[in-house]
Structure 1
Amino acid sequence: MSSAYGRYFLCDQSLIGFSGHCYAYFEPIKKVLEQEGRDVFVIGHRFRDLALAELGVLSAFTFWCDERNVGQPTGLPEEENLAAIKAGHDRAIMDDLRRLDEQFSFSSSDKIIINSIRHWAMCGVVDWLEQLPETRRPHVALLLHFTAEPERFQYDPSLPFYIESFRRIENSPCGENIHLYADAETLIDEYKNYTRLQVELSPFPHSHFAEPQTAANTGDQRIRVGYVGEARYHKGYQLLPFVVEQIAQTDIADKVEFHFHSFIHDKNAEFFHRSIAALQRFDNVHLYHEAFDSDEYDKFVLNCDVIMVPYLLTYYHSQTSGIYADATGAGIPVIVPRGSWMAEKVKQLGGGALAYPDDYLSFAEALYQVCSNIETYRAAAMQAREKWRSFNTPKRLVEMFESW
């Protein structure tokens, strides 16, 4: 039955498979909206997996949004090259949205939520809105998760394009139809340097609130230490073999087993093959090479006693982590890098330990501390869970969307 209210279109350019939090982000939002009788459409990349298609995810977008997909080099000097790539992304998303409008005939009561959009495509959204008749312009939420300074305090050529994108919204007659959100106070503070536009703090909708199946609950003797998400260099996967080796030399070696999600898009990455070869030497290491679907991901997270998030500070000095969000939402102790957004959250909420970034000795020491005092850290993590879930719910995010 069709809703009497406007429709929701939940869009993510990078929604191509189950890797990352693209589908996991929208799934709980969709459930809340459908419970309220709203018509909801989830729209992803034009080459989205068959499994997503079977879940009703529609195909539309040409480009991924993240740093792995910045288009093809043009042979121009760096900044001119980036400008050419950005122009291509802007044109692509404008054309993608135009085709969606031909399919759905948007109205002013509709709401389009675009998750994880970057400076590559923001101007294209504004350009598309301005081409629509005023009476048919939907409201658009842009959910921002990326810093303009991947390396803190180092100038990045993308910075002028962030400023340009914000300024495009500021000067557009459609500006009132565009609503900006970010999921970290650190990002909002950064964006204040680039724009006078209001960027609201958005809750995480996908934090898991089921009870973790800890070793204490299942009767297992070993503490299960997990790493989950894609095996990427700036997420610290290459540190894991050294952490395992350090723990193997301690008095808790027989009390710990490691479960490492080891899916990677770049099958030729040298660091990955070296890490896999090293990890396979240990009998207490279990590797999972395929991308998880939602149920598999939930089961993996909830079966961990400790989750390591050994990210480098590249990007993550201010960007958020869905892995941290899910672990904290489930009441599972975490180990995170100092100087990151995650570290600030651990300081505020408790429930974890800090390690120096890109330092396997520090991560091994923190892991030893947590595993040696696991019941204390479990109790703190459950307290952190209650604080976390007081704000981070899909219903609260939907209420924000409903306010405009």
Structure 2
Amino acid sequence: MSGTPALFCIADPSLRDFVGHHFSYDHAVAEAARAAGFATLVLGHRALPEDVARQAGAVPAFHDDIWAQRAGGGPIRRRRDDLFRNRRFAEDLLGALPRDLPPGSILLAHMLTKRQMLGLARVVEALPRHVTIIALLRYQTEFYDDGLTGRAFARLRRAVGDGARLRLASDSARLARRIGRLAGLPVEVLPIPHTPPDLPPPAPPPSDQSAGRALHMVSLGNARDEKGFLEILAAIRLLRAEPAGLAGLRFTLQANDAAPDVAAAIDEFALDLPEEVRLLRRALTPESYTALLAESDLVLLPYWREIYEARTSGVLPEALGGGRPVICTAATWMADELALCGAGILVADRDPKGLAAAIRQAHAAWPRLAAGALAGRAGCLARHGGAALMRAVLAPPPPPLPPEPPRRVQVFYPWPDFLDRKAGASLRSNLMAEVIAPHVEELRVLQDGAAPTTRRGNILVESLHERRMIRLAKGLAWRGLRLAARPLSGAAQAGEVLFPWLHLQRLADPFFRRRIERLVASADAVLLEYGFWAGPVLQTCERLGVPCVLTAHDVIEDRVPGSALLRRLTAWLEARALRRAPKVVAVTPGDAAHFAALGVQAQVVPNPVDLAAMSRSLPVAPRLMLRRMGIELPERPFGLFVGSNHPPNITAVAHLRALAARLHAGLGEAAPLIVVAGSAAPAEEAPGFVVLGRVHDVVLAALYQAAHLALVPLPEGTGSSLKTLEAMAAGLPVLGTSVAFRGLPVTDGEQGVVEDDLDRWAALLPALVADAAGLARLAAGGRALAAGYDHRRVMAAYLPLLGLPVDAEPGPALPLLLAETPPFPPRATARSRLPAFSGGTLPGR
């Protein structure tokens, strides 16, 4: 075999026509390989037409493309089908390769999915060790996180250990890091090989649009929903409806090979097609595609962030390499590339109004955009192209990518009230999210329940939306568990079975597990609130290599005092979750000491308070504001209790009701009034006692400012009490039991008044109300204590736990414009505030 050139083989099962970038990718790599002295072999699909095969220099080899799968069938049939596709991929590839591959030969198998990975492992094991195999994985990690691909990665790791020359690669650093965690092997980043030939710069449109040509914007490639095609149509409609209409604008949209729903939208749009818009219904040849790019002024890339946050698009380097500005989605791989070279405008994800505004902005800022695109063209061509890819392939494998701070953080919250901010868990989690969000591109929350999806800045809150069959099965299991546990706990403590149930209810739900897997696979870090969902969440994090921080809001076993057996079961489930979590956060030193006795080291991050929100000013006097809101309170001093529908709060309200009756019996109208706000009790009114029920935030602020002191007669509780901190932050003195001040460094008589004997409150409360100087001293001490618990300071402790910089400075200015309605704040600079919404919850405040 002396003198036989090494072979560069490109294996592309989806090379079957000009649709997508398979042809352009393979053609560019083959040309670069020949220029580097390789003999080339391109293996495509068996349905490859002769003319395409001739242009690509390809040989039909594969029965299946990368998306081939059995239609319908259950999980067993789908798994068998995946095994079949993997086996046939390996047989087709090994059968098409020459029997004796010369030393130095390279096999590039690209754009693979889970239906080829196990077959790839077989190929790597079968090929001689002098052949280098490069597997390019360029799709989201959900395409590689199934059991078969896990087996494939294990076999690939063993093959590398046995001397196989395997290089895993992606074309996105974001993807490379995530797939590398999944595979347990380093994943390098390769250039995208297809860039356009030397295109002439577009001629600037004259300022007088009535006398010259319009700005020509194009959408390239087939029409898919995730490429923002429907948003482009909607934006054109919005622009057409404006006074200026489409004057000075022109659009050419590739509308071929659309899915049925997108095709229907295109047909509807075509019924009233503006003369400024041209729809191309057939796939373009490479020559026609290049000609359209050359005719364009700007390329539209409003791709869905859900798909393209880490995934690449070949259209972008073609546009930037051709010196064309782009409009693309913020906080995606495309935005990363745009920050390095070229020029463009970032727009919101799935936002037709923002896209329309960006198009107007591009028209107005055209000279700057055009100059920036031409200046950045050389940088794009240096990073991408066939020659750049060949240099990377022929060089030794680079060192593994250095770690970087997470871009996307996923929060799992087991209650349906994340946006409510009323109960303690909701408020703490909101304040945590508010501090973390400015440091990441997106913070996503999955909560229980069926509330609609809500976005606030770069915080996205989704709900579980259980399937009906799962709800029915859970209902039956819950009733069965309660019946089985009744002899253990008795009627009085029947509710205690809830806490082991919260740990167990999701373990057998396959839909919940798949939802968890999808969300974790697309995240860089996970925050798990409580340990109830720890089983599926931590198992998925371990398998995908995603770091996780579990926050234990309290010691759950302490909520099960009635039944020794149920308490032991709850303690075992809780300890199992905590021991499995790589990082644990406790909210009090006492909780951390309890976990340490279980062998779990927890960092203490106390419950915080929003100091600014608790001291906001009202436009009028507090009592006047209450009257405006329909609340008329007697003109006498009152103590305030705020609590959600949580057993200790309900017990506290009962104590306050009895206290009010004693005070009224002894002092009549001279007794201090007791006011209760929140869902701990329904609205009622009795002598000296008023329950308002749930109230608006403005009402609550007015109550805090009008009250003389806060009353917190909690009989029990775990964690720390947010209601106590909030009262202190609002400037209210606090009279409470020792449980009310749990976890807080309070000295009786300095930051609050501690009294566990509730019988003494009947004498203590009137005396405190009468001592204005003493109340002022207590208020000042409590306010100073609360200042140390402001959420901006306290919740910053999560940043290093997630690998985020604590004192990040704004990054350098990027060579691009930002649409006037930006979807995501700049990293580490902007803040996002979540408003309060209604909703019930279990955890207390």
What's the TM-score, normalizing by structure 2?
A: 0.44
Highest relative contact order (Cα 8 Å, sep 6+), 1 or 2? 1
Q: State the AA in 2 paired with 1:83.
A: R
Greater shift, 55-64 or 161-170, is seen at 161-170
Task: Pick closer, same or farther for the CA change 1:374–1:175 going to 2, 3 Å.
Answer: farther
Q: State the AA in 2 paired with 1:166.
A: F
Q: State the AA in 2 paired with 1:399.
A: R
Greater shift, 214-223 or 229-238, is seen at 214-223
Q: Does 1:63 align with 2:64?
A: yes
Secondary structure of the equivalent of 2:305?
coil
Larger Rg: 2
Q: Is the 8 A contact 1:32 1:394 kept in 2?
A: yes
Q: Does 1:285 align with 2:277?
A: yes
Greater shift, 320-329 or 140-149, is seen at 140-149
Q: Does 1:261 align with 2:262?
A: no
Q: 1:154 maps to what in 2?
A: none
Q: 2:391 maps to what in 1?
A: 399
Q: Does 1:97 align with 2:56?
A: no
Q: 1:48 maps to what in 2?
A: 48
Q: Is the 8 A contact 1:261 1:287 kept in 2?
A: yes
CA distance in 2, matches of 1:98, 1:23: 22
Alignment of 1:5-404 (within 5 A): 5-55=5-55, 56-65=57-66, 69-73=67-71, 75-77=73-75, 80-101=76-97, 105-132=100-127, 134=128, 138-149=131-142, 158-172=145-159, 176-212=164-200, 214-216=202-204, 221-248=213-240, 249-251=242-244, 253-264=246-257, 266=259, 269-281=260-272, 282-403=274-395
Greater shift, 89-98 or 3-12, is seen at 3-12
Following superposition, the deviation at residue 159 of structure 1 comes to 4.2
CA distance in 1, matches of 2:214, 2:258: 31
CA distance in 2, matches of 1:381, 1:81: 50
Following superposition, the deviation at residue 299 of structure 1 comes to 0.9
Secondary structure of the equivalent of 1:216?
coil
In structure 2, stretches of 5+ residues that fail to align are 397-845
Secondary structure of the equivalent of 1:192?
helix
Following superposition, the deviation at residue 53 of structure 1 comes to 2.2
CA distance in 1, matches of 2:38, 2:180: 34
Following superposition, the deviation at residue 344 of structure 1 comes to 2.3
Q: What percent of counterpart residues are identical?
A: 21
Which digits, 9 at most, give the CA deviation of each residue in 1:33-88, with x for residues without a partner? 323442112221110123212223210112212xxx241046223xx444323212
Task: Pick closer, same or farther for the CA change 1:398–1:242 going to 2, 3 Å.
Answer: same
Following superposition, the deviation at residue 172 of structure 1 comes to 2.1
Q: State the AA in 2 paired with 1:200.
A: E
Q: State the AA in 1 paired with 2:19.
A: S
CA distance in 1, matches of 2:271, 2:329: 25
Following superposition, the deviation at residue 311 of structure 1 comes to 1.3
Which digits, 9 at most, give the CA deviation of each residue in 1:191-220, with x for residues without a partner? 232133121110111122522452438996
CA distance in 1, matches of 2:298, 2:264: 25
Q: Is the 8 A contact 2:299 2:326 kept in 1?
A: yes
Following superposition, the deviation at residue 108 of structure 1 comes to 4.2
Greater shift, 315-324 or 174-183, is seen at 174-183
Task: Pick closer, same or farther for the CA change 1:162–1:315 going to 2, 3 Å.
Answer: farther
Following superposition, the deviation at residue 302 of structure 1 comes to 1.7
Task: Pick closer, same or farther for the CA change 1:351–1:175 going to 2, 3 Å.
Answer: farther
Greater shift, 215-224 or 198-207, is seen at 215-224
Task: Pick closer, same or farther for the CA change 1:17–1:228 going to 2, 3 Å.
Answer: same
Greater shift, 318-327 or 232-241, is seen at 232-241
CA distance in 1, matches of 2:149, 2:122: 16
Task: Pick closer, same or farther for the CA change 1:47–1:34 going to 2, 3 Å.
Answer: same
Q: Is the 8 A contact 1:162 1:194 kept in 2?
A: no
Following superposition, the deviation at residue 383 of structure 1 comes to 2.2
Q: State the AA in 2 paired with 1:75.
A: G
Task: Pick closer, same or farther for the CA change 1:149–1:317 going to 2, 3 Å.
Answer: farther
Q: Is the 8 A contact 2:124 2:164 kept in 1?
A: no
Q: Is the 8 A contact 1:252 1:368 kept in 2?
A: no
How many residue pairs get matched?
A: 387
Task: Pick closer, same or farther for the CA change 1:254–1:41 going to 2, 3 Å.
Answer: same
Secondary structure of the equivalent of 1:19?
coil
CA distance in 2, matches of 1:220, 1:171: 65
